[in-house]
Structure formats: C-alpha cells, structure tokens
Structure 1
Amino acid sequence: MRRRELLQAGSLATAAALADCTVPGVSGTSEMTTRTLDVPDRTPIGVENQNGRVTVETHDASEVELDVTRESSFGSGRFDEVSVETGADDGTYTVAVSYDNDAAPDARRRPSRCHCSDEPARHRGSHR
C-alpha cells in the first residue's frame, strides 16, 4: 500500500496553467501532459509554482499522477521557456515550475509554494 499512509488515498493530481494567462478570443499555445511518478511511501511532496493555478487532490491509487497544462497567449517563445521538473531532495519529492532566462519576470514577483505534508486536509483545493 505505497503512498496511502501519506495521502490516505495514495495519489496526487496536479494541474497547472503556466507561462501567461490566456486571453479569451486570442489564439495561443497550449499543451497538456500526464506523468505517473513513483514516490516512496510517506515522502512529503512540495509543489513550487511561480505563475498560474496548482490544484492538489487525493485519489485512490498507489502512484502519483501529475497533470500539467502549459498555456500562453503570447506564442511559442515564452511557452517553450517554461518547464515542469520533478525530483527528490532532502527527503521531499518536489514538483517545480521552472522559467528559463527572463521568462515571465512579473510571475517571479508573485511566488507561491504549497508544501503537502501527511495531513490529508492539506492535499485538497487550489493553491495560488
């Protein structure tokens, strides 16, 4: 029963809108990807995001599912400068949004961080 002790249901789904806000009626660039991650039992999960929406939910599964939506109304240049990186460091598994060079400088002024511990209530809802 991997991860069930940490999340009570065992899985984490994260959706993030990255790069820029989209503007209705203006065509832009959008990409959605899904990754399944193997995270050891009882490992804390940290989510680091500089811009956009991050939703963390529990599910009844033994793995972590990461859903990422990147969107930009300013074309592929800024879109390509945003990536989502995952990995473990100091006992915490981190999902982090990374901006290359000077991408989205306004977003860096509004950092947000959600650190999910083994308290199930903290794994629900949106974090901005």
Structure 2
Amino acid sequence: MDASVVSTVVEFSGGSAMIPASRDVVRRFVARLAAAGVEAAGTFADAARLVVSELVTNALRHAPGPCRLELTLKGDSVEIAVSDTGDGYPTFLPRDPQRVGRHGLEIVTRLCDEVITKPHASGKTVSALLPLL
C-alpha cells in the first residue's frame, strides 16, 4: 500500500488539551488503517497512543507553542512525527528505576525501532518509527 494513502497531519495551537486530542487523532488513524486492510498487532493502538502522548507532552513542556502531529504508514511501521518550536533536543537520562517521571523518551525508544530528531528553521521534529506487528 502507498504510504500516502494512510496519513494524517494535525496542527495544534498549544495547551494541555492537545495531549488528549492527539490520542483521538491516533484512534481515528488506527481505524483508517484497519479500514484500508492494514494488519496491526492487538497492542499497536495502545503503543501508538502512548508514543504520541509522550512526544506531544514533551513538545508542550519544552516548547509550549504550536505543535504539529503527523502519522504516516511506512511499510510495516507507522512514522509518528511531532514538530515543535523548541530549539532544545530530547535528552536521554541514565536509567534510574528510582526516578519518578521523566521516562517518556525511554518508553518511546523501547517501543519504536528508530527515534530521530531533526532541526528545522523554526524548531525541531522528533520522529519515531513504530512497528505495526
């Protein structure tokens, strides 16, 4: 299937409402995948919602302005890309089971095959490749 057939882009103006709204975008996107006959593991929808929540939350915390969420079918994975206006890069913290919170990027890297941050003129885009199966 052509990846352009199943993709979505949503622009958020900012604020904490974009976190639950981003999970709704994932729910609708997963339904579109199913309608297009794309096979996904039973855990895919939950994993996709978690990855999106973590990336959008990071965008809100570190660049509280506008945020763009893009979901695109790419072969046997879905690329989840979150763009924001922040100039800082995600920071990997050392593994610490005693730490409360700040495990978002660790969770994303465990679930996804690849996580890449790309700078652009007005901020950055964090892209994560989540396998369907």
Q: Which has the larger radius of gyration?
A: 1
Higher helix proportion: 2
Q: By percentage of residues, which structure has more strand?
A: 1
Taking structure 1 as the reference length, the TM-score comes to 0.35
TM-score by length of 2: 0.34
